Chains A and B, each alone.
Chain A
Amino acid sequence: MNDNTQRIEQFKAEVAGMKLRDPATGLDRLLVKLGVIGLVAGPGFGIAAWFIAHGTRNPLQQRDAIVVALLGLTVAVVGGALFVKGAIAGFLRFWMARLCYEQQAQADRIAAAVGSPSGNGHEQAERVG
């Protein structure tokens, strides 16, 4: 088997092993939604825990309420992380695409100005820069 056949076989194996995500499920969007739910539900747990703790003099029940409050805190922190990850990923994708486009446009303008046959390239480059 030559290198090329090997590469094609490897390609086939990798495609066969590729995990296909159903685009309809929108995992990213789902995670952001879960994050928002966590952000809202977390403090809810905390408030509920406060009422539980204040509604009883039983120390065991109050300790349970502390556990509930800590769970709420955890849910809020994880939810916040998911939300921030999703929001930042979306923003950064857009920002990077825009940056690439603007830098390409700027580089094209500079290259056009420097290479201008009109002989005033340096003047134009200074103006662009």
Chain B
Amino acid sequence: MTAVHPHAPTGESDGRASTPIVELRGVRAAYGTIEVLHGVDLALRPGEVLAVLGPNGAGKTTTLEVLAGLHPLTGGDVFVAGRRVNGADPSDLARTGLCLIPEGRGIFPNLTVRENLRMASHGRRSAREIEAAAFERFPRLGDRRKQIAGTMSGGEQQMLALARGLATDPAVLVLDELSMGLAPLVVEELYEQVASLARTGVSVLVVEQFARVVLGVADRAAIMLHGCVTDVGSPHEIESKLSSAYLGG
């Protein structure tokens, strides 16, 4: 996975020639008249994990929403698998295998765990296959299969969201603030799953405010500030720049 520095030649920043599976070029987006993304450049290569870090209000979530087709662009281009998909319907993108797990989990709180998983059975896999895979990956969900999802702990709800996302057999997994509101141990457990998923070749784009765990999983990382990607590099490089980025030093 590679984050492309603004204006750097796409696909060459780490010396490999593989075409990015997802690429944002000069993406601009606004809420009403207020522009919040001022030309975001990012590239995610097949089978890699890219962590986008930045403080609250940097535009990370909006970037993911633009990528998933949930928020309109005001400029720039979004490429998925080499095709320009500006204005694509979110459901079409999801059907192809671009899976966004939104901030706040996005599960159906009034449905049981099984029913939530069944909601993802519209694609290639049957409900039974989905349940088997989800419960194998997250045994705790298997124990709670009949429980109303909204009554589970935050970590279990996030597991369910992840399991449901994986049930769609994604080629690209986009995670927004996976760690939000969760205990550090739970976050580590979830990121272990993300790491194992990445090892199977799924490309993962993950946005986080809290860097420590995600940098251990990522192949590359980027810092986003004020609607722009300001730094890209290896997790080690980015970690050393984080405090100045967050504190403005």
Contact = CB atoms under 8 A, between A and B. Distances in A.
A106 B97 CA distance: 32
Given A20-B85, A21-B89, A107 B109 contact: yes
Nearest to B80: A15
B96 interface: yes
Interface residues of B, number: 30
Q: Is the interface of B mostly helix, strand, loop or mixed?
A: loop
Given A18-B96, A104-B109, A7 B85 contact: no
A103 B116 CA distance: 14
A11 B171 contact: yes
Contact of A16 (B83, B89, B109): B83
A20 B81 contact: no
Interface in B83-128: 83, 85, 87-89, 92-93, 95-97, 104, 108-110
Interface residues of A, number: 28
Contacts of B172: 11
Contacts of B80: 15
Contact of B81 (A5, A15, A108): A15
29 contacts: A2-B201, A4-B201, A5-B201, A7-B97, A8-B46, A8-B201, A10-B97, A11-B21, A11-B81, A11-B96, A11-B171, A12-B81, A12-B82, A15-B80, A15-B96, A16-B83, A18-B88, A18-B93, A19-B92, A20-B87, A22-B87, A100-B108, A100-B109, A103-B109, A103-B150, A104-B150, A108-B150, A110-B150, A111-B150
Interface of B: 21, 46-47, 72, 80-83, 85, 87-89, 92-93, 95-97, 104, 108-110, 148, 150-151, 169, 171-172, 200-202
